[in-house]
Structure 1
Amino acid sequence: MHFNWRRGLGISLSLSVVVAIILIWKTLDLKALKNLGLLESGFLALAVAMLLAAIGIEGRRICLVANAMGGKICWFRGCAIL
């Protein structure tokens, strides 16, 4: 039985999106969003850097999962899929 790597990748991404939506829905605080403007720019830059690192790591994970299933996806394409 040949496993379709695109289907597996879609399931993995769908579960990630569902979990992210549930977390945002349960933890969103509108007052906290207003207070973001009061943060120092260094903290915001650090948060953006961590976000970009997380996207890079997740893109690499997608690349490795797809390659293990027989697909050929480069790291940049994995980040774009995310």
Structure 2
Amino acid sequence: MAQKYVTTAVLAALMGYTPSTIRNKLKDSVLLEGIHYYRPFGGRKTLYDWQVIERDMKAHSLGNGLAMPGQDDEGATRG
């Protein structure tokens, strides 16, 4: 079973990017806090939800309308 939450370094390896690209280009533009990543207990450490990121990447690459951040597979808003 794959890890649910991963660090920036692990996410970079999974996606084929550098950690700095994740932090400087993707975070807060396509990877959104509360959907794709979390800061546990209000700290500085960032943990990414790999399952959500992978799902959204696949949906976006298929060109369907499911790639909208914050929505589930039926189009309902996630909280």
TM-score greater than 0.5 by the shorter chain: no
- Short-chain TM bin: under 0.3
Which has the higher relative contact order, 1 or 2, with Cα contacts under 8 A spaced 6 or more apart?
1
TM-score by length of structure 2 reads 0.26
